[in-house]
Structure 1
Amino acid sequence: MSADLDDTDRAILRALVADAGLGAGEIGRRLGLSQPAAWRRIRRLEEAGVIRGPRLEVDRAALGFGVTVFLGIKLAAKGRVSLEDFERAATAIPEVQVVQHVLGLFDYRLRVVARDLADFERVLRRRIMTLPGVGNVEANVVLTEERRPGPLG
């Protein structure tokens, strides 16, 4: 689909990345399109899988989760524990928001949220370290985070 994107499609994507709540009418006004034309383009981008739907962004700190930690996890014995067993167990932990199977020093990267460092330590000791096959674990506490939409063509 990326070869089929024109400048207007990219402008629509940039507008939606900045504010996913924009309607076709507002996008049309910003880009000099009619509301139906903007709606048809948005719909085509959705049908092609370029737009997967609006997302709700939650302020974790406002909900009391002030600590985010990225964990690198190396499985101790790959042959004994299936990757599916590890993934199933890891995704069942409410504080684990993302489980990524990665290539490199670690087998998995997890994004974990906690109320504070003491809460993170409890999650690490009672839940993460008891996951099937866990060997080495490296923690990186997030100090600040800036989000960028990434390349849009």
Structure 2
Amino acid sequence: MAHPLDALDLALLEALRDHPRAGDLELSRLLSVARATVQSRLARLTEAGVVRGWSPQVSLEAAGFGVAAYVSLEIAQGALDSVREELLAIPGVVEAFVTTGTSDVLCRVAAASHAGLQDVLLDLNRSGSVVRSTSVMVLSTLIEPRVLPLLATTAAERSPRAPAYRSPT
């Protein structure tokens, strides 16, 4: 079930993005709301699955895995579960999505070198369930992963639920 966000939810998510190590008290100061409001909003966003974790953002490139590609896979009919298990066994597959269109699965892969990328591609093609693969090399990142601009398109339409909300000045 979707959890509609309001302006305070969005402001809280922006504060967390900008100050990821801030505690509830610091966030309440930044947003000019009561600490209990921050705590209840965070609990609600976490319970609804909007906030899914508190792990650090890791740069694969900075960690030595600067070669990346997207690989589309056409798979055998009914083989999605086995392909998932095979993809999980390949460390270079960092994300995978079930898709529509000419391919069935889109993978984001990373490696430390072109030779390492070739190894990942060969591992993908060893699957008896993969009928065909097509890869596209990533040259550079134009836009980093982001969600707040999209969330802001609907949050701006809602008024905050907490009466203690005061717009930060």
Are 2:101 and 1:104 aligned? yes
| Structure 1, gaps ≥5 residues long | none
Residue in 2 that maps onto 1:142: 138
- C-alpha displacement of 1:141: 1.2
Q: How does 1:3-152 map to 2 (within 5 A)?
A: 3=4, 5-75=5-75, 77-78=76-77, 82-125=79-122, 127-145=123-141, 146-147=143-144, 148-150=146-148, 151-152=150-151
TM-score after normalising by structure 1: 0.85
d(CA) in 2 for partners of 1:96, 1:102: 16
Q: What SS class does the counterpart of residue 110 from structure 1 fall into?
A: strand
1:114-139, CA deviations, whole angstroms, 9 ceiling, x for partnerless residues?
111121112212x1110122122111
Structure 1 runs, 4 residues or longer, greater than 6 Å off: none
Structure 2, unpaired ranges of 5+: 155-169
Q: Distance in 2 between matches of 1:26 and 1:73?
A: 46
Say which structure, 1 or 2, has more relative contact order (CA 8 Å, 6+ apart). 2
SS of alignment partner, residue 138 of structure 1: strand
1:10-54 deviation digits (Å, cap 9, x = unpaired) = 211222234433321121111111223212221222122222221
Q: Which amino acid aligns with 1:66?
A: G
Q: Is the 8 A contact 2:65 2:110 kept in 1?
A: yes
Which moved further from structure 2: 47-56 or 25-34? 47-56
- Tell me the C-alpha RMSD between the 2 structures: 1.8
Count residues with an aligned counterpart: 148
Cα distance in 2 for partners of 1:123, 1:47 equals: 36
| Equivalent residues of 1:89, 1:132 under 8 A apart | no
TM-score, with structure 2 as normaliser:
0.78
